[in-house]
Amino acid sequence: MDLQEADKHFIHTYNRNVIFTKGEGVYLFDDKGNKYLDMGAGIAVSALGYSNDEFKQALKDQIDDLIHVSNLYYTMPAIKASKYISDATGLDKVFFTNSGTEAIEGAIKLARKYAYLKNKDSRGEIIAMNHSFHGRSMGALSVTGTKHYREPFEPLIGGVKFAEYNDIESVKALVTDDTCAIILETLQGEGGIHPADNEFITGLRKLCDDNDILLILDEIQCGMGRTGKIFTYKYYGIMPDILTCAKALGCGVPVGAFVASKKIADAMIPGDHGTTYGGNPLATAAICKVFEIYEKEGILNHVNEIASYLVKRLGELKERHKDIIKDIRGLGLMQGMEISVSAADIVADALKKGLILISAGTNVIRFVPPLIIEKEHVDRMYEILDGIL
């Protein structure tokens, strides 16, 4: 099997030019045996890196016991995983999905059902943010604030308006009696790595409280310890009404969730929402083991330690290449480097030199490595990227 064979059979929605066959720690290996330092973690998924023995064994053990029974029944891993998520978020009730975009779909439905129960004539309007990214299914796409993603698939679901991220006045200007929810990434990812200002987040929380609007925070990419806290909203001293998470939640096993307070979650009744596979025993066993390893290995402390070193080294790159690097921004191990040249070209050159980078838009390089990286890996990334720049 080769790339030509793959191109014959895959719908061309990604530009792929490598076949990876194996992973170990923070490295990936292709079908020719070449080794790559991974600073993308499968788009912020593989927080524990690759081939973690304890994680693998937990999955093998669960496969021996039970993989699927449908959501007509409870399973022990799902019950245990729901408690882990509730304890970590401070929210009460969980719905497991297969992906982040499905978590967004569920969050939208929950918000609209909650509004409907308050007022059956509610139009269920949602305010989202420009330059946001929430997924590619029709509902998630409807609240994604990048026009070129939406246009080929319109008409999407209605009742969505777009405000400016970090501009509370632009949000207030869109609020009506029909506004049921405000949705945003706590740290914008695909839109260029933009953390929320404290005044913006706290202002949104007050705006929602004053107008009985639900605040939905999307932490699919920036959650699960990536920014140095288990969820990024904890930096701001506020609580969301609904939270979405996925990606590192399963560290490579496809699983997501939306979580809500009891008052809001109880708006959903049997028949309102469902999924055949979501939260199956294998996926939720993965969640449980991820939380256990995070605690045992002190992952959050490690993120905070190594993130400061990553930021320092990125700052040094900026000093050396002022003509190319315009800005460094982010939180924890979710950093963006805004550049004056094509990010895609830098990413392609890096791949040839054994470094995996990913972009965020056309001119931002995104650094979202496995959370287990060490200083030596940051230094190696620096050397390669310095040479390219």
Calculate the CA 249 to chain-centre distance. Answer: 9
Site of tokens 């690097």: 325
Domain that holds residue 124: 54-297
Same-domain pairing of 221 and 316? no
Same-domain pairing of 276 and 328? no
Q: Which residue, 297, 317, 342, sits at the end of a domain? A: 297
Give first-to-last CA distance, the chain, whole Å: 35
Q: Which residue, 297, 318, 334, sits at the end of a domain? A: 297
Are 148 and 202 within 8 A, CB to CB?
A: no
Q: Is 111 helix (H, G, I), strand (E, B) or coil?
A: helix
- The pLDDT of residue 1: 67
Q: Which long-range contacts (CB under 8 A, 24 or more apart) does 315-320 make?
A: 316/382, 317/382, 317/385, 317/386, 317/389, 320/386, 320/389
- The pLDDT of residue 14: 84
Closest CA to 299 of 246, 218, 380, 369: 369
Can you give the CATH number for the domain in which 77 is found?
Answer: 3.40.640.10
- The pLDDT of residue 289: 98
Q: Which residue, 231, 262, 297, sits at the end of a domain? A: 297
Q: What is the DSSP string of 47-96?
A: TT-B--HHHHHHHHHHHHH-S---TTS--HHHHHHHHHHHHHHS--EEEE
- The pLDDT of residue 352: 97
Q: What is the mean pLDDT of each run of 10 residues along the chain (389 residues)?
A: 81 87 97 96 97 98 97 97 98 98 98 95 95 96 94 95 98 97 97 96 98 98 98 98 98 98 96 96 98 98 98 98 97 97 96 97 96 98 97
Q: Is 151 helix (H, G, I), strand (E, B) or coil?
A: helix
Same-domain pairing of 165 and 280? yes
- The pLDDT of residue 17: 85
Segment (H or E) for 244: strand 242-245
Number of domains within the chain? 2
Site of tokens 């967004």: 104
Rounded to whole angstroms, how far apart are CA atoms 57 and 195? 36
- The pLDDT of residue 121: 87
Same-domain pairing of 327 and 227? no
Same-domain pairing of 92 and 233? yes
